[in-house]
Structure 1
């Protein structure tokens, strides 16, 4: 019997812990390189803040000026000019003079009553703009990109930010989200501008393409190739980390909590099950599961927001106290270990950037697939993404946790790893959010567990696409190369589930933030092109407006 007991004890510490012990040094290594400091501040965060502020000022606060225009674009108000061209429709001699083509039921029937559509020839200055090639609408591109960002970063990431930095981290997350809108506008405009369209109509886009093609146009072909390759490598790493391991890690946390799974190998086996599920979708090609996920996840997101709103409104009298605490703690933090204002700012910016990915360039891969003649149109649509993800959803999660902790359930700062003690038990990430929900909504832990798992799976599917696009850029578009990537991707599903949260999030942060370095090279070389394309799109809108008035 003692021998059997000993064997069981060895097994209990053997699976998850061995994976964690092997993975932690790797995570620490990458984190120490990517987050090297200048004057006590990680340089990558300085770069992120500076670039966001610069683009906000250079483009005249596009996050404010073009917010409503972006909503109109998503709703299809300018779909006619994006498909056929403003000059062709509304220019001198255009076929739609005095007619708003968005209100014409049948475009083909309308054409029968007028002269044939004549291509002006002056509508575009590059081959990229001479067609409305693309696979999806503005709304579909936005929904795809949002599905890759809205999820566990909003549930677990916010909880981690507050656990480490206190309520003040929320303020800096909001600021990062608002500034990130401008960065997202720039990178997604470039994603459309420099995309490739295959013979079958498949779109290939993202930083790999605007770095290689855009910098070549500027006379820096070698630099473009190097930075494009670096971005592709880091994007693959990001797909293994933030888009994968961090997701399976949070799904495992809530599943272990819900079902009281305390065995040493529980994380490993949960990871195996998740890997099989994701593998069926990305390798087996069983579209039905993916289609169900695509339908269920938006519903779960809405239900999550409704639940947040219910908790917030149920504690209406505490909202002003929560907001006051957020602002006060942003400039005078009291969380254990966070130190000065710089400390809480770094926590907030780190979690917001991880959540909305503005500056990382990943979303431009999804946005590049849009159907439009005007690349800036999708840039405007994309600026809505950080607002939805960070300013709205992250803030709502933060308010729920802060209102919950007015009851003094845990101490801000915790143990410095993101874990806090509630009623004598340790909770971290999504587990903290789950405790907050359970305080106000009975059995909400079941709902939140389902939501976290679905968000994790949908995010992994989205990021497998991002990573695979980068893999194809580096290694070609063969089936064997694709299969190798997918096997590696699924391996990280298991690693993420087995290793502890700190190691996984350190690695995930490092991989996502590494993408910022090569991406920023492209943004700072090519932002004048974005200005030109923005003016071109605004001129097209004005031409339509003048023609139908």
Structure 2
């Protein structure tokens, strides 16, 4: 993109930022809803275009996500399970020493030769700004949150307990996709003279496909992805998060307007994102484990308090997926609901997580790919399963609600008849066993929304930098815009924008999966390099 166009766009954004505070948030909401709704509707229809499978219609983006995950699982010989032990050790830093023994350009034979001589070797510094653990938590902070707390409840409301089995299976398959994404994110990252890291699908689509003599295709797909990730970061990764956090806070405190809360939230986010990925990594490595432990810990308390009911809960899950009722027509529906909620929760295939993983300190791209595979396991297999067990056990014990039997309606509370089915269903389940836990859940939702905004701000600025350049002006322009949008999201109900932005997040799947499939052989070679280095240097 030419410098003239970049300057024109940046000036336009600057003028917009000066003018927007003079407009009431109500008028912003009305104007955007009126003019943006038709565009939003068209984009949503394209991205989530349905195809018929059995008795159900499935968004084509979901078919691509699951098809890609299944392909990668087979292509890499179940590396998602086979290399889980290696992933845990690499996350802990057990293999960091090999970065100081080898160079990034060393092939497998060179690695064997150097390791066999067992001589000290002077190597170049390791590129990167965050540890394996920090990169993992930064990526997890963008996915662990409302998808786990509310998404599981939605899956069970629509598909019953049986949907959980398919969520878990989708989580396992998604581990393979994350492995591929993060490996390529590190392999094709770029480093500026100032030491800033730029990586993600934009770079591996452009450079990776260029190496395969597909330069034009690579440039087109990379540009598409950059546009989508910017749109997604401002909407689904920002407006929606700010709106939900504000709603939870207002519900807890009785506050009538979200404007002040939005300003405070924007200020807190601003303090972190101005420091870049280093500060984001330091914050998320504290928030994500803390909230994860709190949520899983509360789940375990309820499960162990009712350990005698676990077999009955497990039977409900199994029977809901494979029992007579499921086989009589609900099987495909339950399976699709489970797969869909899992895909929307862990975002494997969207490619966004590879942007955070690209900043890791390593000379072996596959090291971070293997670490990244833990993400869907934690997000979907562990946390979502815990949430499901709590909901099922408390329902068995207190008969709080009934399931909707795939008719698309919400679950309905017994007695009062109030409809629930998202975060409110999870809240009811936890409150029934741990009084007033809904207060803690509100705090969790706000913190998860906060950490999600941190990670998506980094994803968005990477796409923005790819489109408009890597200078300070472009950097500051995006960050100011991002912080302003937080206030707008907290003060408004911009339904069309959020719908459009969520569509853009999943539009990222199309260029990304194409690139992942074409570049899979590169990833296989990198995995061999890394495992060879571990075997000959660490475990010898």
Q: Do both share a fold (TM > 0.5)? A: yes
CA deviation after TM superposition for structure 1 residue 230, in Å: 0.7
1:388 corresponds to 2:382: no
Determine the C-alpha separation between the residues in 1 that align with 2:449 and 2:325: 32
CA distance in 1, matches of 2:501, 2:323: 29
CA shift for structure 1 position 57: 0.6
Q: Does structure 1 residue 64 correspond to structure 2 residue 68?
A: no
Residue 326 (str. 1) matches residue 317 (str. 2): yes
Of residues 205, 218, 227 in structure 2, which corresponds to 1:224?
218
2:402 aligns to what SS in structure 1? coil
Structure 1's 94 and 47: CA in aligned 2 closer, same or farther, altered over 3 A? closer
Residue by residue, what CA displacement relative to the aligned partner does 1:380-434 show, whole Å, maximum 9, x if unpaired? Answer: 1111111011100111112112222333323323994767556343445322222
- Relative to structure 1, the CA distance from residue 90 to residue 485 in structure 2 (aligned partners, 3 Å threshold; closer, same or farther) is closer
* Equivalences for residues 28-107 of structure 1 within 5 A: 28-39=41-52, 40-85=57-102, 91-92=112-113, 97=118
Match of 2:367 in 1: 377
Q: CA deviation at 1:315?
A: 1.7
Partner in structure 2 of residue 151 of structure 1: 145
CA offsets per residue over residues 328-365 of structure 1, 9 Å max, x none? 22346989xxx743333333222212221110111111
CA shift in 2, pair 1:14/1:361, >3 Å: closer
TM-score, with normalisation over the residues of structure 1? 0.82
Helix, strand or coil at the partner of 1:149: coil
Cα gap change, 1:167 to 1:15, in 2 (>3 Å): farther
Q: What CA deviation, in whole Å up to 9, does each residue of 1:51-75 have, x standing for no partner? A: 1111111111101111111112222
- CA 1:16–1:403: 2 relative to 1, 3 Å: farther
In 1: Cα distance, 2:81 partner to 2:251 partner: 42
Q: 2:163·2:337 contact (CA, 8 Å) conserved in 1?
A: yes
Q: Which moved more, 1:168-177 or 1:496-505?
A: 496-505
> 1:192 & 1:289 partners in 2: Cα distance?
18
Is 1:117 the equivalent of 2:121?
yes
Check the 8 A contact 2:159/2:337 in 1, yes or no.
yes
After TM superposition, give the deviation of residue 474 of structure 1 in Å: 0.6
Query: 2:336 aligned to 346, 349, 357, which one?
Result: 346
Aligned counterparts, 1:353-432, within 5 A: 353-406=343-396, 407-413=398-404, 416=408, 420-421=412-413, 423-432=416-425
Shift of 1:193: 0.8
- Aligned to 1:219, the other structure's residue is in SS state coil
Cα distance in 2 between the residues matched to 1:284 and 1:536 = 34
Output the CA distance in 1 between the equivalents of 2:390 and 2:449.
Answer: 21
Segments of structure 1 that go 5 or more residues without pairing to the other structure are: 1-12, 98-114, 120-129
- Provide, for residues 2-56 of structure 1, a one-character-per-residue CA deviation record: whole Å limited to 9, x for no partner: xxxxxxxxxxx96898589557655544321101123332211111111111111
Q: Corresponding residue for 1:298?
A: 289
Residue 245 in structure 1 maps to residue 239 in structure 2: yes
Distance of aligned partners of 1:272 and 1:418 in 2 relative to their CA distance in 1, 3 Å threshold? farther
User: Using a 3 Å threshold, how does the CA distance of structure 1 residues 268 and 157 change in structure 2: closer, same or farther?
Assistant: farther
CA distance in 1, matches of 2:393, 2:121: 60
For 1:211, which of 202, 205, 217 is the aligned residue?
A: 205
Q: How many residues align?
A: 502
**Corresponding residue SS for 1:150:** coil
Q: Gaps (5+ residues) in structure 2?
A: 1-24
Match of 2:165 in 1: 171
* SS in structure 2 of the partner of residue 132 of structure 1: coil
Aligned-partner SS, 2:435: coil
How has the CA–CA distance of structure 1 residues 357 and 226 changed in structure 2, closer, same or farther, with 3 Å as cutoff? same
Q: Is the 8 A contact 2:116 2:536 kept in 1?
A: no
CA contact (8 A) 1:19 1:499 kept: no
Aligned match of 2:509: 516
Q: Secondary structure of the residue that 1:373 maps to in structure 2? A: coil
